[in-house]
Structures are given as structure tokens and as C-alpha cells.
Amino acid sequence: MTTQTIAGVPVEVNDEGFLEQPDQWTREVGAAIAAENGIAQMTDRHWQVVEFMRTTYLEDGSAPSIRTLGKASGVPVKELYQLFPKGPAKLAAKIAGIPKPRGCI
């Protein structure tokens, strides 16, 4: 665990770059993490997924599966992969400032 300054905010991150404290997150931090991971411009659709991930995590204590993401976020699975080609669940969680999802589905 190290402390990094992202978008001017000091945050604690693990060795994979996931935030350790979800409450240190701001939208600007999210956008900066996105840019670092190949998403130069976050669109409304990206934010819709990221916010869904974050809300679900904060409410349930775990990130949604890709199946739930596709069914309940309002963004279908095909589009999820267009928005986050390197893995929607993992990357959206990173941008959302929540831990890496550990589910197999």
C-alpha cells in the first residue's frame, strides 16, 4: 500500500492501483485513473457504469458480477466491453475507487 496523489488528492492505493479507501474517491480521481488506464475521455455511459459499480459496492459490500452489471446498470454487456475493452468489471471498479471484484462470473 502506498500513498499517491491523483488529481491533486492524496489517496491510498494497493499495488494494482485500486483505492484502499473508497471514501477518498472523487469524480476527478476516477477520471484520472481512467486516463491512466487507456480511457482518455469518460462519457456519460462510462460514468453510468462506474456509478452503478460504486453504488452497488457501497450498498452491498461487494461489486456486481458482469452478469448483474449487464442486466441492471442500464448498459448491456456488448457495450460494456466497447466502453472498457480490457475488462469492464475490473476497470470500472478501479475507476469507481472500490476494491477489485473477486467473483468468477
Partner 1 sequence: MGNEPIEKVSIIISKGSLEGVYPGLIMANGARMEGIEANVFFTFFGLDAIHKQRQGKIKVATVGNPGMHMATWLGAVPGMSSVATKMMGKKMEELDIPPIPEFVELVSDSGGGLYACKASVDMFGFTKADFVDQVEGVITVGEFYEQAAGGQIIFT
Active site residues: 104
Listed ranges 16-24, 28-36, 43-51, 79-87: which one lies at the site for partner 1 (CB under 8 A): 79-87
Label the pairing between strands 9-13 and 2-6.
Answer: antiparallel
Residue 44 φ/ψ, nearest 5 degrees: -60, -35
Extract the C-alpha cell encoding 54.
Answer: 460504486
1 contacts partner 1 (rule: CB under 8 A): no
Nearer to partner 1, 11 or 83 (CB): 83
Extract the C-alpha cell encoding 60.
Answer: 452491498
DSSP 8-state code for residue 16: T
Residue 42 φ/ψ, nearest 5 degrees: -80, 120
90 contacts partner 1 (rule: CB under 8 A): yes
Q: How many residues bind partner 1 (CB under 8 A)?
A: 18
Question: Nearest approach, Cβ of 75 to partner 1 (angstroms)?
Answer: 12
CA distance 44 to 17: 23
Listed ranges 2-10, 13-21, 59-67, 92-100: which one lies at the site for partner 1 (CB under 8 A): 59-67
Please give the residue ranges that form the binding site for partner 1 (CB under 8 A).
65-68, 70, 76-78, 81, 85-90, 103-105
